[in-house]
């Protein structure tokens, strides 16, 4: 399997500094700051948002693979990951992840879909990496 890479640089103090990241392929890069991470600066990203994007992308692909293997190739799988970022007695922490998926899948029953959606929640590589974080799944056929 491949080794994936990403780089980040932080300049300055925690509150006044700023950072940037780039994924190994160069396809995605961006700035982040204290405000974009701990407050409400929507003009920049943050590590948790990037984890959410990775999780949603991984989950959608994994579910598509599970559906296809079961004989139900999907037309469309739309996944969303919402991370509840807060604080505990050790510091900042991801408290909870909510995965929401809507999929258009001809011929699959709701029961089959829900079973494969749940299997994908625990089976996709990013979910497995984040297994210590409580997760909720909201799955819907459209």
DSSP 8-state assignment for residue 124: S
How do the domains of the chain map onto residue ranges? 6-38, 47-141
pLDDT in tens, 88-132: 999 999 999 999 999 999 999 999 999 999 999 999 999 999 999
pLDDT in tens, 9-19: 999 999 999 99
Can you tell me whether residue 98 is helix, strand or coil? strand
CATH of the structural domain 47-141, one choice from 3.40.50.740, 2.30.30.60, 3.40.30.10, 3.30.300.20: 3.30.300.20
Give the side-chain half-sphere CA count within 13 A for 81. 25
Average pLDDT, the chain: 96
pTM, 2 dp:
0.93
pLDDT of residue 1: 79
pLDDT in tens, 26-73: 999 999 999 999 998 889 999 999 999 999 999 999 999 999 999 999
Can you tell me whether residue 70 is helix, strand or coil? coil
Give the side-chain half-sphere CA count within 13 A for 18. 9
Q: How far is CA 22 from CA 17, 27, 28, 46, 52, in A?
A: 17, 8, 6, 12, 16
DSSP for 1-48, written as a single string: -PPP-EEEEEES-TTT-EEEEEETTSS-EEEEEHHHHHS--TTSB-HH
pLDDT of residue 30: 95
């Amino acid at each position: 399997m491949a080794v994936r890479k990403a780089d980040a640089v932080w300049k300055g103090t925690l509150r006044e500094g700023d950072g940037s990241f780039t994924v190994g392929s160069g396809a995605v890069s961006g700035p982040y700051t204290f405000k974009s991470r701990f407050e409400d600066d929507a003009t920049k990203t943050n590590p948790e948002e990037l984890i959410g994007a990775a999780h949603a992308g991984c989950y959608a692909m994994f579910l598509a693979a599970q559906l296809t293997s079961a004989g139900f190739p999907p037309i469309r799988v739309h996944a969303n990951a919402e991370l509840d970022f807060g604080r505990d007695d050790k510091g900042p922490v991801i408290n909870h992840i909510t995965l929401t998926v809507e999929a258009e899948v001809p011929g699959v029953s709701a029961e089959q879909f829900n079973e494969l959606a749940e299997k994908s929640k625990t089976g996709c590589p990013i979910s497995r990496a984040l297994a210590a974080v409580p997760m909720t799944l909201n799955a819907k056929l459209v």
